Every structure is written in C-alpha cells, then in structure tokens.
Amino acid sequence: MEVAGSTPRQRRDSQSTAPYQATVDGANTTMKDTPAPNVSCGLLKMLDHWVWHYTVLLVHFGDYLVNSTAIAFLSADYTYVEWGATLRLLSMGCSGVYAIDVLLRMAGLRTRLCRSCASMSDVVALLCVGGALAARFVYADNVEEKRVVITEYLDKDQPLLPGETHVFPKYRSNQIEIYFAAAYCVVLAVRIVLKPMVRVYSKSLQPTSAADTLLISMDSLRSALRRIPNIAA
C-alpha cells in the first residue's frame, strides 16, 4: 500500500551483485575442482625452493672456487700433485650432489625436460662434469712416474758458435691432471649460469594453488567494489 505524495520505493535489483557473486562462486569452484598436486609437482616445488636451489648453487660455487684457486696458484709439475687427491675427493662429493639434483629434476620434469634448452644443456653439462672428473682420476699425477722431457729450445733460431749449445729449453711433463681440472672448472661455470634458467622453467610448469587462486579472486572483487561510488571494500 502506497501513501499519496510519497516517493515510491525502488525495488532493489537482485542482479546487481551477480558479477561479484559469480567471482566468489568461481573461486570456490576452482578450489573444489583443482586436483591435488601429484608427486612430480611436489618434487619440482621442493627442488625449486630457495633453500634447495641456493644450497646446490653454493656447492657449485665452492667447488669451482677451490679448484680454480688451486689451478691458479699451484704448479702443474711440482705442487699440484700434493693437493690433487684432496681436490679429486672434494669434487667427487660435490658431483654426487649435482647428480642427485639432476636425477630428481628429471624425475619431476619427465618428458617436459626436452622442451627446455636450459634443462637439456644442464644435463649435458653434468655429463661433461662427470667426464672431466673421471679423466682427473685416470690421468692423476704420480710423482713416482713423473717424466720431464725437453721438447724444444726457445732460442733455436739463434746462431750458435762452435762449442755452444742452446740455453733456453722448453720442458714438458707427463703430469697433466691440472688441465682436466681446468676443463672441469669451465663446465662447472656453465652449470652455475644454467641453474637459474632451469629453475625459472621448472617454476613455470607448476600450477597455481587453490589458496593463491582465492587470493587473486578476492583481490579482483575488492578492486571491482572500489569502482562503485559510496562502497568501501
């Protein structure tokens, strides 16, 4: 019953909140329909966690720093042999960490590993690291078998008088482990560069969790409500 002269009451439009209700309903549906993460997804999340990622990177950097310092400051013919065994054991332990990391990542990525050049290059680099380490063991320096020969004379182009000999010989030793250690460091540096790219690719394959989807939906709802006058969300 309406009173004469009064302003007729406007019926509230029940459809005005439909878009926002649909947003909330969609978020709830997403939470219900999102499947539980499988073993591969959980494995990738563990490998991409900052603790695991930076721990493996720290092992890479430590291995590289120790070996490169030894190559720079030790002599290939005299002093490197004294530290060679210790350096090989250190690198072998670090290589075990590298192998575990790559094997777990291969188990998590499976066939998707072949879709990333960085991931494939990382696997190839690991094989090169293993090959260089194996060569360091096979061609390990041995003082008892050390042989030094003169390959040439640096002053061979100088004319000699009767009774004179060349005085600047060039020596070569059979102690060549340090060169394989240098190759090991080069491949190790390549892996250090590749690890962040491998992590970015792996994280791009992980689905967004239901909680993150709900947070995004609620933020969208608040943003839409702020555009309506006289409504504060």
Higher pLDDT residue, 143 or 102?
A: 102
DSSP string covering 53-75: HHHHHHHHHHHHHHHHHHHHHS-
Query: Could you give phi then psi for residue 184, rounded to 5 degrees?
Result: -60, -45
Tokens 């290059």 sit on residue? 121
Higher pLDDT residue, 158 or 146?
A: 158
Token readout for 83 is: 């530290």
Residue-wise pLDDT tens digits, 195-205: 999 999 998 88
Domain boundaries, the chain: 39-140+177-206, 142-175
Is the pLDDT assigned to residue 191 strictly greater than 90? yes
Is the pLDDT assigned to residue 65 strictly greater than 70? yes
Is the pLDDT assigned to residue 174 strictly greater than 80? no
| 59-66 mean pLDDT | 98
Query: pLDDT band at residue 67, thresholds of 50, 70 and 90?
Result: very high
Cα(98)–Cα(120) distance, rounded to whole angstroms?
15
| 65-84 mean pLDDT | 91
Other CB atoms within 10 Å distance of the CB of residue 79: 13
Residue 231 DSSP one-character state: -
